Structure 1
Amino acid sequence: MTALDERTTTTERGRTITAALLVTLALLSAVAPFATDLYLPAFPTMVADLNTSATAVQLTLTAFLLGLAVGQLAFGPVSDRYGRVRPLLVGATICVIASAATVLAPTIEFLVGARFLQGVAGAAGMVIGRAIIADLATGRAAARALSLMMIVGGVAPVIAPLAGGFLVGPIGWRGALTVILGLSTLMLVAVLVIVRETHTEHRRAELRASRATLGSPLRDLTSRAFVGHAGAFCCAFATMMAYISASPFIYQTMMGLSAGEYGAMFGVNALALTATSAVSARLTARHDVRRLAGIGLAIGFASTAALLGIATSGVPAGWLALPLLVTVGSMGLVFGNTTALALGAAPRAAGTASAALGATQFGLAAAVSPLVSIAGEHTAVPAAVVMTCTITLAVIGFACAGRRGRVGAGLTPRG
């Protein structure tokens, strides 16, 4: 039984992150992967229905991802200044409106614009959700909550395309986008019913007063602890994205698996990520968060090194499956814990810190994804090189962060 089955998750500051709030924050983080992947199987149909090209349809995905990056940079700092709930409600409301516009889009140009707006607004849930956890908890409690959220993050990218494959046939691409509209509406309702302000006016006034003695809250974002742990998280995520980008040609072209078998292998790896995230959430109650993150990075480094060795050795491609499984699974010990360590190092600017994490995360992911296939679809060497380099950078960032980071910044308990 995981902590999601318990009534509450107790933080180290005496406050609680209720199970309902945690599920709501997980939903906020899941809307983006569902909005990204659910309608992918409908791309060929969309080309014909909208009388456009495959490139133009692909732009609907690019526009959404671009909006996601822009939105995080916008909503994070705004939530530090005005509180969490108001920007979150604005973002959720706009996301519902934009989602409805995608369903009714008469042209591809209209759809691209609506998808961009949907990405900008949908980013509010991702960036503010992390900030809310940082408001309520630090250290082990924050790592536990973020690891539990990672369970949803690991499952959503797998469920979405599979569900889309089943849904597109009977309900079409507009029906798939209607499902996303439904999720966006559910997100708005959950925010209205469950989420309460965690970055109160009193807290914001206290932060403004602290400038005289502690300087700008943004200074926390230049600390060794934040930069190092944020770098570790973002580079580890880039390792994961390199795997995701390379997985179709590694499993299908090189190993000769069918589309269904590829989906099964992808699902097994996602299950490994989910399981280790759940294990990490339980271990944080008894073990040091930084040590758990270090173990995950060490396992990831060893497995990517093995992947590189296999890719360059000329042995059968099937041997690549094991180090890929171990690499993906190890990220369950890394993502939630390094995120908690990074946000814990910048408590006075949790929204801006969360935005910096998200923007860098997706920026690096976009940069590494095209590199994995630069030598063609019949070799895993570029993917192995990219994954080894990114996990090495993650280890270096983690080491540079130092053993201990400034967590509380001398402020009173949060509320």
Structure 2
Amino acid sequence: MLGVMTALPAVTTDIYLPSLPDVADDLGTSAAAAQMTMSAMLVGGAVGQLVIGPLSDRFGRRKPVLVGVTLHVITSLLCAFAPAIGPLIALRALQGFFNASASVVAMAVIRDRFVGPDASRLLSRLMLVIGVAPLFAPSIGGLIAGEFGWRGVFVGLALYGAALWVVVLLRLPETLPRERRLASTRGAWRGYGVLLRDRHFVALSVLPGLGQAVLMSYVVGSPFVLREGFGLSANQFALVFAVNGVGLVAGAQINASLVRKFAPIQIIRTALPVSCFLTAALVVLAATGAGGLPAILVMLFLIMSMCSFTPPNASAIALSRHGERAGTAAAFIGSLQAGVAGVVSPLVGALGEDALAMSTVMAGAAAAALLVLALATPAYRRGGWTQPVHA
């Protein structure tokens, strides 16, 4: 159930991907403007998590997610009738704001009950569900768009939200009893000040955002790179996207097994240099054309596989530092994850929407993550990796 909740933003993103070129044509706008409908949802999700997280610490976990999913359904239906790209971008921002309730509450529920490696393992299992979204969502979205147009995709998202609302109403227990809730809304908001003063928490919270930026740069750039740049059909693109979804799933499975033997920080400090190497290699392939499309596809698969290692482990370590305000901490992490990705990924369109632009942005985000880990945490200091949880 938590996986289905966490997957709501991912499904909202991936099911809509094959329709991006159609949206640009139908609304008479540019590819970059169509990509902004993706970025707007991410930024809206970032703001939404910042608002909803403290409310879940104050009022419990169930009420915020039920209200948020209800508004997601309404906003999805409004997107289906958007008359122009401007209103669609605004509605997508609202859609991201409201469906953020599902993902931030899911993370908070895990922290209510688990810490450390157990939390990291469960977050990796959530990554499995998120990884399944690329396996099926683009194909389903393509089928829906083929029958009903891109507007029909948003009707499908409304139906998904309605089904999720029923599941949450019937199956989600309240994991934050009244005696553990923050006494006032003002106290809940003050929690962000506590979090910002914890520099290790802030650094660890940035890492999932930069990891998500690598993923989202691929997500927003790949329809134009693979369909327009390399001439793949909609079905071929959906197949490629599904294969890379397998990479996400495989990486999450491996990570869930590794955390039983290795500390989460050990995994991160190995995974990030590997990601940097792979993204740098992708830049070289895109710039030189060596190996053509097959080489790029292989490299993208490897990079997507590595995307499943850093976010769950960094999130688990960060959450373990502030269990008394798990909702606020989860919101802070989630908002940075969506916000950083939302700010970075549009650079793909700004730099030219081709393979070199996409790979350059992915490599930059991976390099920034490695720098944050090296400079702002004790991960690479002598003995620092053994116990990075305490300031």
Q: Which residue of 2 aligns with 1:166?
A: 143
Q: Is the 8 A contact 1:293 1:333 kept in 2?
A: yes
Pair 35,396 (structure 1): closer, same or farther in 2 beyond 3 Å: same
* Root-mean-square deviation over aligned CA pairs: 3.3
1:61 positional shift: 5.5
| 1:178-231, Cα deviation, whole Å (9 max, x unpaired) | 3222211121112112212222222236x99xx9xxx96742443233122112
Q: Which residue of 2 aligns with 1:16?
A: none
Q: Which residue of 1 aligns with 2:243?
A: 268
In the alignment, does 2:328 pair up with 1:370? no
| 1:213-250, Cα deviation, whole Å (9 max, x unpaired) | xx967424432331221122211211222222333454
Q: Which amino acid aligns with 2:121?
A: R
Q: Which amino acid aligns with 1:289?
A: P
What secondary structure sits across from 1:332 in the alignment? coil
* Aligned ranges 1:227-376 → 2 under 5 Å: 227-252=202-227, 255=230, 257-313=232-288, 315-318=290-293, 319-374=295-350, 376=352
Q: Paired residue for 2:163, among 171, 186, 200?
A: 186
Q: Is the 8 A contact 1:300 1:391 kept in 2?
A: yes
In the alignment, does 2:120 pair up with 1:151? no
| 1:355-406, Cα deviation, whole Å (9 max, x unpaired) | 22222222222222232355545552x4333222211221222233223244
1:141 positional shift: 0.9
Give the gaps of 5 or more residues in structure 1.
1-23, 410-415
Distance in 2 (alpha carbons) for counterparts of 1:176 and 1:248:
17
Q: Which amino acid aligns with 1:237?
A: Q
> RCO higher in 1 or 2 (8 Å CA, sep ≥ 6)?
2
| 1:112-150, Cα deviation, whole Å (9 max, x unpaired) | 765554332211111111111111111111111111111
Pair 351,182 (structure 1): closer, same or farther in 2 beyond 3 Å: same
Give aligned-pair identity as a percent.
Answer: 34
Distance in 1 (alpha carbons) for counterparts of 2:278 and 2:271:
11
Q: Which amino acid aligns with 1:268?
A: V
Give the gaps of 5 or more residues in structure 2.
379-384
In the alignment, does 2:329 pair up with 1:393? no
Pair 92,308 (structure 1): closer, same or farther in 2 beyond 3 Å: closer
Pair 137,218 (structure 1): closer, same or farther in 2 beyond 3 Å: farther
Distance in 2 (alpha carbons) for counterparts of 1:227 and 1:219:
11
Normalised TM-score (structure 2): 0.82
Distance in 2 (alpha carbons) for counterparts of 1:287 and 1:231:
22
Q: Which residue of 1 aligns with 2:382?
A: none
Normalised TM-score (structure 1): 0.78
Q: Is the 8 A contact 2:14 2:137 kept in 1?
A: yes
Q: Which residue of 1 aligns with 2:116?
A: 139
* Aligned ranges 1:80-159 → 2 under 5 Å: 80-102=57-79, 105=81, 115-159=92-136
More displaced 10-residue stretch of structure 1: 144-153 or 79-88: 79-88
